[in-house]
Structure 1
């Protein structure tokens, strides 16, 4: 069967450290990514039942995650329950969206994509829910 694929949240550094801590504490059970990022990098979309190794900023495998739900949808369809399940302290969808737009159009993601993406109501995202296996 081999090693499970890596699950890397954000880029190495303080944000990834916070996200990994939120996953390990059980606060974070969902994540969202730009479909354009998956397509640009040639990465397969997550599928229900897939296991992935959670990677910290030092490149270590710190836990195993299982994907429990995947949905590709326009960003406008994200609801408050999903925003809260991201475990980053968002009380509203507007807060969730503003933070994600800053990340997705920031310098690191723009470098990956070859320029800043357009993020509007119709932008497709990959909304994933997962559970911590250990």
Structure 2
């Protein structure tokens, strides 16, 4: 296995209670997908990760807790996210509407708007998102 110091960090949300819940859901096997904004990649000058890439899942304390491998990466309009993807995010949503309401609250939050450098940032059905699927290949705890 590669030294985890050489792996890119895999960050879910911002440090704090939400990241803690998401990391716990990954480690328990409940969370096998996640959704980000394409504009986040563009703002950071990053290319989309390729299928097969391995990354170190980082907790709120900055510790590497698992090695993840991407099994699928799709770019699609927000309005096309389906129920399977929403359920596989492991956050307890029972519908796409619930999933979307939570994600919009996050994406419209102050931390995300600050990270994007746009205090008025909003999403709609046409906003491009990056839907990723992954698997835990190694638990580092």
TM-score range, shorter chain: over 0.9
CA distance in structure 2 between the aligned counterparts of 1:117 and 1:39, rounded to whole angstroms = 14
Q: 1:46 offset after TM fit, Å?
A: 1.7
Gaps of 5+ in 2: none
Bigger drift between 43-52 and 78-87 goes to 43-52
Segments of 5+ residues of structure 1 without an aligned counterpart are none
Residue 126 of structure 2: aligned partner = 122
Supply the RMSD in Å over aligned alpha carbons.
1.1
User: 1:96-126 CA deviation, whole Å, 9 max, x = no partner?
Assistant: 1110000011000011111242200000000
Q: What is the total number of aligned residue pairs between the two structures?
A: 134
Q: 1:61-82 CA deviation, whole Å, 9 max, x = no partner?
A: 0000000000000011111000
Q: Distance in 2 between matches of 1:76 and 1:102?
A: 16
1:39 aligns to what SS in structure 2?
helix
TM-score by length of 2: 0.92
Decide whether the 8 Å contact of 2:107 with 2:122 is kept in 1.
no
SS of 2:134's equivalent? strand
Q: Is the 8 A contact 2:55 2:68 kept in 1?
A: yes
